Amino acid sequence: MIKKSFIVVCAVRLLTGCGAENKPVIKSNEEPLPNIIWLVAEDQSPEWFPMYGDTTMALPNLEMLSADGVVFENAYSPAPVCAPARSSIITGMYPTSLGTHNMRTHAPWKEGKNEPSIGIASYSPVVPEGVKMFTEYLRKKGYYCANGPKEDYNFEKTAAAWDESGKERHWRKRAEGQPFFTVFNFSVCHESQIWNRGKDSLFVAPENVMIPPYFPDNDTIRHDLAVNYSNLKRLDNQLGTVLKELKEDGLYENSIIFFYGDHGGPFPRYKRALYETGTKVPMVIKFANNERGGQQDDRLISFIDLAPTVLSLASIEPPKVMQGVAQFGKFEAAKKPVYTFHSSDRFDEVYDRLRAVRGSRYKYIRSFDTTKPHALPVSYREQMPMMRNLRMLFKEGKLNPVQANWLQAPKPREELYDLAKDPFELENLAERPELQDTLQSYRNVLNDWMNETNDLGGISEKELMIGWLPNGEQPALPALELEEKEEGINLYCKKTDATIVWKQPKDSIWTIFHKPLPKNISFEAKAERIGYRDSAVLTYGSE
C-alpha cells in the first residue's frame, strides 16, 4: 500500500501571511504521489559492482538495494564526463543540442575564467526554446525538491529548480506529507580520489583485483584499482546512511529509489572515452513496494530518459521538447530506444570531437580529428599515478599493442565493435569486408541523429559564444509586467518560455508563479531562463 503524500499548506506560513495561496496543492481525490530519491555515484562503471557479477568487494547496502530493485544492464550516459552528462540528466536533452557538450562551459569558481589557456570564459549556453530544469515541473506539482551537494550542469542553475541545493539538503525539511524528490551525490568515488586517497587504507588487496587487457599488470595499476574498490566501500557506507534514514522514517518500501553512476569509471580509457568503459553506467531502480525486485533489465536506457521518466512516475506528462522518453510511469513510451548516442568534445583545455552510436550488438565511433590520440593530455588526469605510469611505459615501448592502442596517434576515423564477441572493444572491425553493410548502416544512423538533433559540435566554441553572448555578456531577460485584476495580481514576461518566480521579502526560497497572487501581500518577483541573466527584480507592496 503506497503511503499517501499530499501537499499540506503549512500552518506557520499561513500565519505569517506568506502567500501560500499560490502554492500548488494536491487535491485529496488525486492519486498519491511517489517519493523519489536519486543516489548518484561519481565516475563509476558497472564492472566493479556485485550486482553485475564482480566478487572482489562486498557492497552490502547496494546489494540489498539491488535485491529489492531492478538492475539495468544497458544504462548509458550521452557523454563520458560529468558536466555535459549532468546537463543531459537535468533537462532530458543531448548536450550537443543544448550547447553544453564542452567540458566545461559554466565554471564560476574559476574567478571568471574557465580555461584561460584557450581563452574561454565561464558562460551559460543559451539552450533551445522551452528547455527547463525538469524539477520545475515537479515543484509546480507540489514536490519538495532538494539536491546536493553537486550541481555542475554546465550552465547556471535557475532558482525555480530546487527548494534547496547544498550539502545539508534533506527530505526531512519538507512540509508534513509533502512528496519529495531528493538527490544525494557521492564524490568519494570521483576520479580525484584515486590520487587524493592513494595513501589511505585499502579494503581490498591489490593482488586480488582483476586487470583488464588494455592495462599492463604492475604494482601502480593494481594499487589504483584497489583504491577505487576501497572508495566504493566508502560509497556503500555513505549510501547506506541514506537508506537507513529512509527506513527510520517509514519511507523506504513505498519510495522509488534510483542508484546510478554519472558516467564511466575514473581511469584512463574510461572517463572521457566513448568506449563502454566511459559511457556505460551502473543503474538500479527500486520501485515502490519492491516491484520486480531482484530482476535484471537489458533495455537501452540513456540519461536523456531520466527526466521524462521521473516526470512520468509523478504523473506529469513530459514536455515535447525533451529528447528522451519515459521508460516507466503513467506516460511510459510504447516505443523504446533501439540506439544510444554519445558525444565527446572539449575536455578542459584540450579539444577533440568524436561521436558514437551504440545498438543492441554493435558500437560505432567516428573521430573528426585523427591526428590526436584517444589519450588526450588533459592536465587534470595527468595527476593520476596510473596515467603517468601508462605514459612512461608507452614512451619506453613496454606496452603490448592492445595496451598501446589508446595512446597512439593517428587514431582511426571510424571504429566498429561487436560488443557481443568483443566487450572490451579491442578489435576494430571497420575495415572488415563482410561488415561493410553494418558499418554503412551505423554511419547513416549517426548522421541522421546529428542532423535531427542539431549537433552543435561542428561549430567552434568561440563562434557559438559570439551568437549566444552579445557584447560578450549573457543576454538579459526583459522586466516583468504586472497587471492587477479582481482575482489577483498577474505577472508576465515578454520572453514567453521564461519562468517567473516570486517570494516574500523574508523568504529564502523562490516559488514558481503559476496563478494570480493575492493583493494583500508584499513580494518580489523576477523572470529567469537558462542562458539568460535574470530580469530586474520587481517589488510589490511594502512591509
82 belongs to the catalytic site:
yes
Provide the pLDDT confidence category of residue 110 given band limits of 50, 70 and 90.
Answer: low
Average pLDDT, the chain: 93
Question: How confident is residue 24, by pLDDT bands cut at 50, 70 and 90?
Answer: very low
- Model pLDDT, residue 119: 86
Question: Cell numbers at residue 232, please?
Answer: 566504493
pLDDT digits (tens, 9 = 90+) for 275-305: 999 999 999 999 999 999 999 999 999 999 9
What is the per-residue pLDDT for 84? 98
Q: Is the pLDDT of residue 6 over 70?
A: no
| pLDDT tens, position by position, 355-389 | 999 999 999 999 999 999 999 999 999 999 999 99
Would you say residue 29 has pLDDT above 80?
A: no
Residue 114: the pLDDT is: 62
In what helix (H) or strand (E) does residue 297 lie, and over which residues does it extend?
Answer: strand 296-302
CA distance 51 to 46: 8
Please say if the pLDDT value at position 543 is more than 90. Answer: no
CB 73 within 8 A of CB 85: no
What's the first-to-final CA gap in the chain, in angstroms?
46
| Ordered DSSP codes for 411-472 | PPSEEEEETTT-TT--S--TT-GGGHHHHHHHHHHHHHHHHHTT-GGGS-HHHHHHHHSGGG
The pLDDT of residue 321 is 98
Residue 70's φ and ψ, nearest 5 degrees, are -110, 130
> Tell me: the pLDDT tens digits for 481-491?
999 999 999 99
Strands 499-503, 511-512: pairing is: antiparallel
The structural domains of the chain, ordered by start, are 37-92+132-333 (3.40.720.10), 344-472 (no CATH), 481-540 (2.60.40)
Q: Which of 82, 145, 189, 493 does the annotation list as catalytic?
A: 82
pTM equals: 0.93
Pairing of strands 499-503, 523-528: antiparallel
CA–CA distances in Å: residue 297 to residues 55, 265, 294, 456, 511: 21, 21, 10, 33, 38
User: What pLDDT is attached to residue 451?
Assistant: 98
